[in-house]
Structure formats: structure tokens, C-alpha cells
Amino acid sequence: MNKSIVYYLTLAVSIFYAGDVIGQSTVDSLFTALKKTDNDSLKIRLLIKLSGEYQYIDIGKGMEYAEEAVKIAEDKNLVWAKPKVYSNLASLNSIQGDLASSIKNNNLALNLNFQLKDSLSIATCYNNLGTEYYSLGKYDEAYFYHTQSYNLANSVKGRDSRNAKLKRAISLHNIASVFKELGQYDRALDYFKLSMRMSEEIQDLEGAPYNYSEIGDLYMKQGKYDSALTTLKLSLRLTRERKLSINEVEPGVLIDIAKTYMHLKDNEAAVRYYDSASILFTKTDNQFGLAQVSLGRGLLFMQEKKYAEAQKLIEKSAEVAHRLNARTLEVECYQNLSMLLEEKGDYQKSLSYFKHQSQIKDSLFSQGMQAKLLQDQIQFETASKEEQIKALTKMEQLGKDEVKKQELISNILVVAVALTVILLFTVYRSGQRRIKINKLLLEHQDDIKKRSIELEQLNQVKDKFFSIISHDLRSPMNALSGILDLMDKDRISPEEFSKLNKELRIQFNHTKTLINNLLDWTLLQMDKLKIQMEKIELSSLIDTNVKLLTSLHFKEVKINNLVTPQTLALGDTNMINLVLRNLLTNAIKFSEAGDLIEVASKEEGASIIISVTDHGVGMSPAVQKLLFEKTAGYSTRGTANEKGTGLGLILCKEFVERNGGKIWLESEEGKGSTFYFTVKKFS
């Protein structure tokens, strides 16, 4: 969540309710006072204070107290309390990342504040709505609300002037944040400095840390990472030195420092700062903050090409964001998951995450439109109430004739400004929509291009395999035909037949393996293979394959099954069986007569790693890179001149991955090879 939101919302709560409950400074004393009183007005004030205290201890408990305050205010129809309880609930919604609920509750508070003619509270709601739309990326609407808040706070005089000045400082800070996101860095920096000077004039201790934090983020966007680190660490130091009660700023700054270190490729330092932020979020049971940390750590793993760990953390963050209704964080998670799976080459799942991200964005837009409709319903009343407030102030200074004149001029100006703003918004939004549409078209073109390349590659593989079929099936058939012809003419002796029979058996074994692999490959491409997950007794399955392959008399090699009996895995038995058979066949193919082949396993977390080791010819690094490539189909003859197609290992990779595992190898020329693959452990 944007740090400006936390800054504004927490200050807003303290401004509205400071002094409401004298002497109740701790949670225990507040809770005791709540139990003792029957006064509804006092109960609401105590519940608001308790919810504010619990946002630093247990955010869920804070939400319960805030919702209880809303219920009492509605049941008793306490007009003065309703805007306060809805504004308080909106601030907690924002801290949890639930921006849609926050916008709804702030709109309710805004309408009620107009009825009460409370200028400062109206300015508060405007600023609050601006920060929510800022977090949704709707910077035009955010800018509109922040400037409205500034102008309204600027019109307040007399006893509320200090609070009004604080609100103006906050509005300037938030307007600067909008300019920062729009890339207008010089203008944003000027506004941040102006906001900081205004905060210093009224001794607002929170102003400097928040402004330095945003300036650090500005430097990070410009790629000035050293300046960003210096500024962010200054913000962190001021926060700790001043012992700010608004301790949400500290984990936010820690996360920004971690992001900066990630840009600098110093992942070790980034992890340290993410750990520090996690400790603070854990203390307050802030699930939204912990989800932000999980996403950040996932991106670090993604940068290090540790895709499995990265995917696990980002999916965890997305799950929490979904539960909290924190849609912007959920969108960011699925956007990064789509990029991660694209890097892994899993384009189908990447596209699925991209579509899911788009659906959530559409949902956010729909929720935003609903909130906008609610705002439009009170727009006329809003303009009317603002003018009434201004008129009440001016009536004390001007005569009746002057008031009427000023009202006329003001109405004309309001209409002119409104028309100008509407025109500017229309032009701006039209430009933004065109940019987004062009971007989507380019993305779709890239996607179509990638699919076209992939289809072309698969077509090449298909052509290659048809060529293999036409060649490798013809040889054994011709040989068989020739032998049968000789036998029919009685031109072959028993000794010659025995020798030819052995060679023919080898050719037919190769042909049978080829046909089985081609059938499995065809079913894979047609997506006809259905996975049946079940318990697999690995040692028994390996013994079955060892006996089968030994009986075929490929070579006089010894195969040792080192897998412990009762080692249980979870997967599709037929697929795992094919993987084992192919890997053992390859090991025999590249071993010399008398060599030893070993099959072993070890448990690692929720997986079992199975290895097939031979001591044969091995292979070079260049060959290793080609083995699992669909378009390569690399094959070479074995030590006894056995032929291959290169299809077996491609099938192995497909089947292992469909069972939720991965496959790799280690090899050295002249010393042999070890193929590894993982399966899930049965539980």
C-alpha cells in the first residue's frame, strides 16, 4: 500500500478524535472504560480509539471494533457519529489493501459531512478518496480529489487554521506523489519540499519521514539507486529517532530499501530488509504487509532464476491478497506469475495467469465505476453544500448585496471550471485509452507471433518423426520379408537363422519402443493423455522394468535397484513407468557389456528424487543442452550401434512435468551420466 495513504489516514484519525477521550491512553484503560459505560456517544469514541490502537497490534481486532462503532451509530441514528465511524472504517480497509471497500465507506462519510457542513471533514474525505484512486492507478481522479481537498482546506480560517494547514501539507504531499507516478519528477520534487516546509512550520514530526520516503521512491524510479538508498535510510532514521506513533511508515520504508537493493543486484541486503519488515508486520498481524513481503521475496528468487521458490511465494501472496480483497496487490502477483511462467517456457499457464490478471482489473474497474456512480449521485449536493459553507463564512464580512453578487460570480466560475475540467478529463482519458488499446494490440501481436513460432517448431518435429518412421520401420520389415522369403525357398540354415533371429529381435525391440514413444507423443500433442494420480511403490515398479529389459538381452549389463522397498510416490503409474523404462534403456544403450547401472532415490521435502546412473560414454555440455529440446530431437548411436530417435527424453520431460516434477542430468565425457527426476511423495 502506498505510504501516503497510511500517512494521511492515521493523521486524519488523530485529528478528528484527539481529545475525545481524556486520559484513556492505553488499550487496557480504553477497554475498561468501554465495559463500564452505557453511554452510546462515549462507546463510539472509545471504539474508534480502540480500533486505532489495535491497527498496530491486531488489525483484525481493530476491524471488529470499527464495525461495532458503525453498528451503534446506525442503530441509534447518531448523525454526528456516522461520518466519523465510516471514515475510521475506511482507513482500516486501506491498511488491509481493500481499496473498493475504503472508497465506498469514504463516499458515505463524505455525504454525511456535507449534511453537517463540516469543511475540514469534507477535505479529509476528498484527500482520502484521492489516495485510494492513486493506488488504483487512476491518477487523473486522484489529482482532482487532492486539489479539491487543498482548496477547501485553504478556505478555512480562525480556530481550525493549524489543522487546515496540516491538511494542505498532506494534500501537497499526495499531489507530489501523483506527479511522481506520471513521470514529472522535477515538479513532484518541488511539491514534496513545499509539503515538508509546511510540516516543519506547524511542527508536524511525521511529515519529513513520509516525504523523504516518497523522494527516495522518486529517485528509484529515475534509476538513481544510490540517492534513493541515502534518502530512504534518512526517512528510516528520522522515523526511529522521533519514535513516531504511526509505525506503519517503518515497514513501508524497509520494503522500498529492499526493492532498491534488488535493483542494485544486492539480493542479500534486500533479504535483510524484507526480514525486518516482516518482523514488524508480524507484530501487528498485518496480513497485507506480509503478503507484500512474500511478493518481494518471490521477485528476488525470480531474479536469481529460482523459479519454483519464486512461484510458491508469489502464489502465497496472491492467495492472501484475494482473501483480503486487496485487488491491486492480487493483480501485481498474477502479472509477475505470468512473466515467471513465460520465462520458464510454460506459455499456456502464463497466458492463463495473464487472463486472470485482466479479469481482476476488469472487476476493479467495475467496482470503481460503482463507487463513481455513488459519488455522482451526491455531486450536485456536494457543489451546493460547498457554496453554502463559503456563503456562511462571507455573510459575516459582507452585506446582503455583496453576498448575492459573490454568489453569482462564484456560480459562473464553478460552471466554467467544471466544464473546463470535464473537457480536460475527457481528452486525457481518451489519450490514456488509446495508449492502453495500442499496448494490448502489441501484446496480442507478440503472443500470436510466439504461438506461430511454436507451431512451426512443432511442425518441424512432426516432419522429423515422420521421416524417422518411414526409415526406421522400413528396415526391420524388409529384413523380416527377406528372411521369410529365404525360409520359404529353404535357402537358410538353422545356424544362419539363429544369428539373423538375434539381430532381427534387436531391430524389432527398437521398432516397438519407437512406436510406443510415437503413440505417447501423439496423445500428448492431442492432449488426450489423462493423468490418474495414485500411490506408486517405486522399488517394485523399478524391479518390473529391470526384469523386462534384462529379458530382452540388449547387453550383458548389471542393473542394481537401490531404492528402499515401501518408498511410496504419488503420480500417474503409466507415465512414471515410461520415464523409468526410457531412462534405463538409454543407460543400457550407452554402457559397455559388463557395466553397472544403478537406480537410487532420496527424499527431499515433499518430493522424492530418483536417479539413474550409468558408467558409459557420457556426453559433452553442448549435447546436454539439446537433449530435452522439442525442436532438437537429438539422437546418437549407442555403444553397440543401437539407433535412437531423440523422442524418448522429450517424452520423459513432458511426463515428469505433468506429474508436478522436474528432470535434469549430470554427465562427463568418458565417465558416464546420471539422470535425475522428481515425483511427489505419497502422504
Residues 6+ apart with CB under 8 A from 126: 110, 145, 146, 148, 149, 152
Q: What does residue 664 show for φ and ψ, rounded to 5 degrees? A: -155, 175
Superfamily of domain 1-117: Tetratricopeptide repeat domain (1.25.40.10)
Q: How far is CA 631 from CA 344, 414, 454, in A?
A: 16, 67, 9
Q: What angle do CA 480, 485, 491 make, to 5 degrees?
A: 115
Could you tell me which of 444, 454, 441 has the C-alpha nearest to residue 345?
Answer: 454
The confidence score (pLDDT) of residue 18 equals: 36
The confidence score (pLDDT) of residue 4 equals: 42
Q: By three-state DSSP, how is residue 616 classified? A: coil
Please, where are the H alpha helices in 526-646? 538-551, 573-589, 621-626
Residues 6+ apart with CB under 8 A from 168: 150, 153, 154, 198
Q: By three-state DSSP, how is residue 119 classified? A: helix
Which of the residues in the chain have pLDDT under 50?
A: 1-24, 159, 245-246, 368-389, 391-396
- Cβ count within 10 A of residue 574: 13
CA separation for the pair 537, 598 (Å, rounded): 18
Architecture of domain 530-681: 2-Layer Sandwich (3.30)
CA separation for the pair 187, 176 (Å, rounded): 7
- Asked if domains 1-117 and 286-374 share a fold, the reply is yes
Could you tell me which of 538, 531, 532, 533 has the C-alpha nearest to residue 608?
Answer: 538
Q: What does residue 601 show for φ and ψ, rounded to 5 degrees? A: -150, 155
In tens, the pLDDT along 314-356 reads 889 888 888 877 777 888 888 888 898 888 888 888 888 888 7
Q: What is the 3-state secondary structure (H, E, C) of 315-349?
A: HHHHHHHHHHCCHHHHHHHHHHHHHHHHHHCCHHH
Q: What does residue 529 show for φ and ψ, rounded to 5 degrees? A: -75, 120
Amino acid at position 501, single letter: N
Contact 27, 57 (CB under 8 A): yes
Residues 6+ apart with CB under 8 A from 432: 140
Q: Say if strands 607-614 and 568-572 run parallel, antiparallel, or are unpaired.
A: unpaired
Q: Where along the chain do its domains lie?
A: 1-117, 286-374, 407-457, 473-528, 530-681
The confidence score (pLDDT) of residue 680 equals: 94
CA separation for the pair 491, 53 (Å, rounded): 102
CA separation for the pair 643, 91 (Å, rounded): 70
CATH class of 286-374: mainly alpha
